[in-house]
Structure 1
């Protein structure tokens, strides 16, 4: 049972690491694929557990406490992260930081509401494992908001969902603290570099430039995603580009000179080079 747990943990850790390296700041892609993968691992261990004819009390407790709880917690964690990131404001950084701080406050409040189970989880206590992680003889009913959920005793225990929730909340708390720290650092760097420069061309021209830079892969060895680049320029120039993907659609729909702004930049630079050459070599 221990070997199964460690193997699954290694598989998930390796898979998530590869996802984060591949998709970088695309949290929607990371969370969606992580949820699918973990769901598959959960089904696998459930089938493996059910195939054991006479499982010992020790293994039963280990399975529900360390394997099933952990996998359910990971699922809940990625669902929570997905929800948090979907609702996150685009700009400016101070609003994003404030948003994360509010989310962190809500998570801490939920942890406080479950302080007994949280302390049991954090201290890795085993005093009540027999009550928490052994299956009951009969099915039981769990009240949940406006409905009653029928829990099948063959596949879970009364406390699995509670401890999974607590672990998920703790992981989300760490995620938000890390985010807040990174945004605080980014905000400081940007504030230090801010000048009186203002973007005075049109927003469409800036969007055309952003798409060109992203297409050329000039940031982070081509790994920076479009949203990250757009957010950076919006913060630097204190602009709201709105639905820049819609503007790009309009750029694509141009009948003539689709890269109008970039072409004008090229023409201006070529003219400057020629003018400079003529001054040096009259």
Structure 2
């Protein structure tokens, strides 16, 4: 189901295309994105207040899909800003130790609060049978033992569970961010390429297409029996095809939530190969 509220999320995704998250830019970009997404959340709140919802189905769709994406990204960018401004060093063992500790804290928090919960399993399984209970306004049941902060939420713009979905989204994104942060420095500087460059060999499709291919090779453990990290694979392929991919981690996050096929380039490769095979029967 689509609604007028989808255009609000789209504006965030468009803005995210500008993000590089290179070491020298990450704090500035995280602060800017936090402010921008906060404005979007306020705009969404005002729009809900003025327009309301066409029906109950749109209301549930908003609090299950739209608001959690906005709030989740707000939490995510704010987390990045806070952790990067708290990091005691830009590189070295102190830097690594800091991010390892943050990763351990996040893993424990996620395990304690979500992994074993019925609600987490409900969201991850794609179920819809309890959507009205979880994402309908006015359905908060204080007898379920909800966290005390629920008493301070706006009952016209929250179902409590929309926040829980947002927190799951933010924590999953942040988990990958910290992992990438730990890997990128050592991998970026350890790649040594010995092959010859060919001026007539370069990537001519979109950057997103190549990023999709890189992640597919990484996920399938097709290179070096899966021993290479995603950043190292990307660095090698960037050099091989004479292209700079920028923040490919963030681009991959956008692919995971894009409309239509999430594997558009791989689908295209499969169709092209099958067509080629048919021509040469």
TM-score, scaled to structure 1? 0.58
CA contact (8 A) 2:138 2:155 kept: yes
1:4/1:96 CA distance change after superposition, 3 Å: farther
Q: Which residue of 2 aligns with 1:46?
A: 45
Instruction: Supply the distance in 1 between the matched residues of 2:29 and 2:111 (Cα, whole angstroms).
Output: 29
Name the residue aligned to 1:103: 102
Secondary structure, aligned partner of 2:152:
strand
Contact 1:93 1:183 in 2 (8 A): no
CA distance in structure 1 between the partners assigned to 2:7 and 2:52 by the alignment: 22
Look up the match of 1:35.
Answer: 34
| Kept after mapping to 2: 8 A contact 1:31/1:81 | yes
Q: Within 5 Å, give how 1:1-282 maps onto structure 2.
A: 2-20=2-20, 25-52=24-51, 55-113=54-112, 114-115=114-115, 116=117, 117-136=119-138, 143-144=147-148, 149-186=151-188, 188=190
Going from structure 1 to structure 2, the CA distance change for 1:142 and 1:44 (only over 3 Å counts) comes to same
Change (3 A) 1:105 1:39: same
Q: Do 2:63 and 2:162's aligned partners in 1 also have CA atoms closer than 8 Å?
A: yes
Contact 2:27 2:81 survives alignment (8 Å): yes
**Separation in structure 2 between the aligned mates of residue 51 and residue 45 of structure 1, nearest angstrom:** 10
Does the 8 Å contact 1:64/1:156 carry over to 2?
yes
The structure having more radius of gyration, on CA atoms, is 1
2:53 & 2:79 partners in 1: Cα distance?
36
Q: C-alpha offsets along residues 216-270 of structure 1, whole Å, 9 cap, x if unaligned? A: xxxxxxxxxxxxxxxxxxxxxxxxxxxxxxxxxxxxxxxxxxxxxxxxxxxxxxx
Structure 2: how far apart are the matches of 1:49 and 1:91?
A: 42
Counterpart CA distance in 1 for 2:140 and 2:76 is: 30
1:28-51 Cα offsets, whole Å, 9 max, x none, are 211111011111111222222222
> In the TM superposition, what is the alpha-carbon distance from 1:189 to its structure 2 partner?
5.4
Q: 2:146 & 2:42 partners in 1: Cα distance?
A: 22
How far is 1:67 from its partner?
Answer: 1.0
5+ long unaligned stretches in structure 1: 191-282
The answer to whether the Cα contact below 8 Å between 1:89 and 1:95 also exists between their aligned partners in 2 is yes
Once the two structures are TM-superposed, the CA of residue 64 in structure 1 deviates from its matched residue by 0.7
Equivalent in the alignment of 1:250: none
Is the contact made by 2:140 and 2:159 (CA closer than 8 Å) also made in structure 1? no
Contact 2:53 2:59 in 1 (8 A): no
Q: Does the 8 Å CA contact 2:139/2:159 hold for their aligned counterparts?
A: no
- Deviation digits for residues 97-120 of structure 1, max 9, x if unmatched? 222222111111111122224333
Contact 1:69 1:161 survives alignment (8 Å): yes
Change (3 A) 1:93 1:5: farther
